Structure 1
Amino acid sequence: MTEPLSKVDSAVQGLSSSPPKDKGHRRQSSSAAGVMNVNDLEKEGVELRLAVETQKTGWWVTESVLDAKINSSPMSIDEPAILKLHLTKPPVKKIDLRFPLGMEVTARNLKGVTIKDAMDAIYKAYKKRADDELDNPYLAGFEWDKEESWTRLVVHLQKQPASSGGGGGGKKKKGKKDEE
């Protein structure tokens, strides 16, 4: 036991004197190419366009009317392919959704916010509300108003689901009868 102690301990042996190199933020690789930050779009002056499917009636249904309410799951949609579409063009990582009475929710997806992401955010905010608590339970669509806020979409709600083949066609037929 006359030997002097040395630094042979395995915990000390592999360490270097310089700190490890910073490899940057890890999330960059999970972000899809072409997906922008909505704040960067505002700085660059790039305008958002909404997906046409978001302007359909009753939870974005194209042909048929679905009696889905904002307090029901988006998985009840007849056309699940619509859910995979990007909410905006160009796609953004997150966007705020503002309701008429001032409540705001945020839809997020690093690969671009989809219609499903927006519907999930809305559903999460309203899922505990009973049907009779909601004045306007059906989604009518979104509106982007750059004058009000570049980084926010306004959510429009309605009392009844719109019916396909609505009253507009009837008025046109009536107008043609009047002309004859």
Structure 2
Amino acid sequence: MSEPLTKVDSAVQGLSSSPPKEKGHRRASSSAAGVMNINDLEAQGIELKLEPDTQKTGWKINTSPSSIEEPAMLKKLLTTPPVKKIDLRFPLGMEVTARNLKGVTIKDAMDAIYKAYKKKADDELDQPYLLGFEWDKEDSWTRLIVHLAKNPTTSSSGGGGKKKKKNQE
């Protein structure tokens, strides 16, 4: 124990004491002001409001979210007030979590869904299109219910419908 420190010992000792302080500092600054923890919202009784644009994406859950025609929509916050993470539950019981320390965006939610479904073939998915999200505080304060549909519901699908009509004429 009374041996002098070697270079290896001092390096290990120096590393073990300094990074935790830095990490703690970085972590505090990385979360944006006003972004809440979902559990804190529940404790304070603050209700979530969902971004209405999530209802009209017409996005196929096994395709990349970047394929959406309106990329500006992806940058919008999923909820008001913004939260750091939120669970997304599917009708069959599967759950994924969307996370972002600066506030979960529509893209973060879609990325989490896409990660779970990207390896599924189109014929494996009974309802492949995102219809929207629902927050039911009676069911669970900390998660959103994901609604899916057999057909896309978006303005872009309307464009596809027009093309079909032209072909039919």
TM-score, normalised by the number of residues in structure 1: 0.73
- When Rg is computed on C-alpha atoms for both structures, the one with the higher figure is 1
Return 5+ residue gaps in structure 2 as ranges: 159-169
Query: 3-state DSSP class of the match of 1:25?
Result: helix
- Cα deviation for residue 154 of structure 1 reads 0.1
Return the match for 2:136 from 142, 145, 150.
145
Supply the distance in 2 between the matched residues of 1:46 and 1:163 (Cα, whole angstroms): 31
Return 5+ residue gaps in structure 1 as ranges: 1-6, 60-68, 167-180
Question: After TM superposition, which residue ranges in structure 1, 4 or more long, deviate above 2 angstroms?
Answer: 9-12, 22-26, 162-166
Q: Give 1:114's aligned residue.
A: 105
Q: Give 2:127's aligned residue.
A: 136
Structure 1 vs Structure 2 CA RMSD: 2.6
Q: Give 2:24's aligned residue.
A: 25
Cα offsets for 1:14-57 (capped at 9, x unmatched): x9xxx88x848231110000000000000000000000111214
Alpha carbons 2:49, 2:81 under 8 Å: kept: yes
Q: Report % sequence identity.
A: 74
Greater percentage in helix: 2
Q: Give 1:52's aligned residue.
A: 52
Q: How has the CA–CA distance of structure 1 residues 151 and 163 changed in structure 2, closer, same or farther, with 3 Å as cutoff?
A: closer
Q: Give 2:162's aligned residue.
A: none
